[in-house]
Structure 1
Amino acid sequence: MPQLQTGRYRVRIATDACDLRAARQLRFRCFRAPALVSAWAGAEAEAGEDADPLDAHCRHMLVEHRESGRLAACFRWLPLGSGAEIGRSYSAQHYELSRLRDFPEPMIEVGRFCVDPAHSHPEILRLAWAALARQVDETGAGLLFGCSSFAGLDASGHARAFALLRDRHRAPPRWRPGIKAPEVCRFAALPAAADPASARAGLPPLLRSYLAMGGWVSDHAVLDRELRTMHVFTGVEVRLIPPARVRALRRLAG
């Protein structure tokens, strides 16, 4: 894939073990180090790696700061030939996805998306989506999906955001994920007096971008005690992405 870049950042596919190690170390700092006890600090936390068996079956994308070369963000993606392969995905470990087995087109699962807090800039997310747009065009994917993470295990802190997802962004019944994980938080309705804008502000940036493209979510969150997060199944059907958004991504993707 030809390199994509903006004024501050560039994005490329990982090509060797060193690239993959750098991605796993950033994932560790973002996903695992915050959940560790305080005894884990300094060099130990910096050198740790977040890895799982699915890494070997995925491709890995790196967003780097152009001036310093430092890794600013990363994610992995798993191409699937159709919904018949949904059982291979990370999401299928946590959600009952039998309805999606009937999805007729290729699919891409996006996972482990994380951004170094020192480089939280809107260009990073735009570049990541442009890179994904290239993959969609190359594979003919009709669905992008993955798990959107909320920090912590206290569902009450995300109650308004979860209610907004339930009322406005639930997956259509034909694709809606069922419950599989042992610990879940079912979404309650949004109170009539609640402010939707305030609730939307509580959504993670990646999830907000999915929703802006017509994305939808499960009707519950899964509690992940290992990573001390809650995550929500998230999907976006490519044919439903607003045309203006598609044109903007393709311009950036070149």
Structure 2
Amino acid sequence: MGAPESRTSRPGRLTAFVARDEATIVAAQKLRYRVFAEEMGARLHTPIDGLDIDEFDAYCDHLVVMDNRERRVIGSTRLLSDSQAKRLGRFYSEGEFSLSGVLALKGRFLEIGRTCVDPNYRGGAVIACLWGALSEYVTQGGFDHLMGCASIPPGPSGFAVDAVYRNVGEGRLGPAELGVRPRHPVPAWKRCQRDESGVPPLLQAYLRLGAWVFGEPCWDEDFDVMDVFVLLKMERLQGRYERHFVGGERNAALQTGL
């Protein structure tokens, strides 16, 4: 796709880079299937059993973390630039939210999604390696906004929408005038009052970086999670991402969105 090359290493063990060959992309799709379908029980609309494939894959760059000793992909996320989204016809997030106001903002957009980590490697090292490569990709590509759908699983009683938004805090809610609205709001029968899941660690990290959460959440029925739309200005990342994201979230393990 002519996208910037991103490669970040953890000495002696891990390397993060944009996959340029079909075998590595397939390995990432296998990992996604194991995590999302087999571990989380998500209903994936994939044409090939054992792989998580959808219409976005062919337009995305696949950023992976490789275990150099085992020679296998242990972490993955996919990146959709504004130019590739234009070719495809939309961003993934537009399937869940009305985003015309956000996308009218000046500057370049990069969407991140389908992030996952092998259950045997969950912890700070893989996330640190992945995030370092993502930061390089953003800088080299000249992107101004990072966006995506951050997923929050239900607790035993359901989705505590109001409690989650209280935890996020009013100061971190995006401007209402941008008009972000969910296409499939969390239905009343899925909602509860008791906060049993809280704000996931990875979303907490983005909030500390200055990200905004917009509007009401969308219910992703296939994954049975509620997604919140998150927008982060890239200028707030430079020089701060390691201290706030990597250092603050050593136990961040898995997000289906951001």
**TM-score computed with the length of structure 2 as normaliser:** 0.76
Partner residue in 2 for 1:3: 7
CA separation of 1:79 and 1:2: change in aligned 2, threshold 3 A: closer
The answer to whether structure 1 residue 229 and structure 2 residue 225 are counterparts is: yes
Post-superposition Cα deviations, 1:55-83, rounded to whole Å, max 9, x if no partner, equal 11101011122322232210000111599
The answer to whether structure 1 residue 151 and structure 2 residue 153 are counterparts is: yes
Contact 2:76 2:115 in 1 (8 A): yes
Partner residue in 1 for 2:75: 73
Partner residue in 1 for 2:133: 131
CA separation of 1:239 and 1:155: change in aligned 2, threshold 3 A: farther
Partner residue in 2 for 1:23: 28
Partner residue in 2 for 1:169: 172
Q: Report how far residue 87 of structure 1 moved.
A: 5.9
Task: Give SS of 1:53's match.
Answer: coil
Partner residue in 2 for 1:160: 163
Contact 1:147 1:234 in 2 (8 A): yes
Q: Report how far residue 149 of structure 1 moved.
A: 1.3
How many Å separate the matches in 1 of 2:23 and 2:93? 27
2:9 maps to amino acid: Q
How many Å separate the matches in 2 of 1:248 and 1:16? 33
Partner residue in 2 for 1:210: 206
Partner residue in 2 for 1:195: none
Match of 2:236 among 210, 220, 240: 240
5+ residue gaps, structure 2, are 43-48, 246-258
Q: Report how far residue 181 of structure 1 moved.
A: 2.2
CA separation of 1:174 and 1:125: change in aligned 2, threshold 3 A: farther
How many Å separate the matches in 1 of 2:137 and 2:187? 32
Post-superposition Cα deviations, 1:189-215, rounded to whole Å, max 9, x if no partner, equal x99xxxxxxx8x932232122112111
Contact 2:186 2:218 in 1 (8 A): yes
Contact 1:217 1:232 in 2 (8 A): yes
Post-superposition Cα deviations, 1:109-148, rounded to whole Å, max 9, x if no partner, equal 0010111111012122222222121122222111000111
**TM-score computed with the length of structure 1 as normaliser:** 0.77
CA separation of 1:101 and 1:245: change in aligned 2, threshold 3 A: closer
How many Å separate the matches in 1 of 2:178 and 2:184? 18
Contact 2:182 2:215 in 1 (8 A): no
CA separation of 1:87 and 1:183: change in aligned 2, threshold 3 A: farther
**Once superposed, what is the RMSD of the aligned Cα atoms?**
3.4
Structure with the bigger RCO (C-alpha within 8 Å, sep 6+) is: 2
How many Å separate the matches in 2 of 1:136 and 1:35? 29
Post-superposition Cα deviations, 1:30-60, rounded to whole Å, max 9, x if no partner, equal 21223549xxxxxxxxx61111101111010
Contact 2:159 2:226 in 1 (8 A): no
Partner residue in 1 for 2:182: 179
Identity across the alignment (%): 26
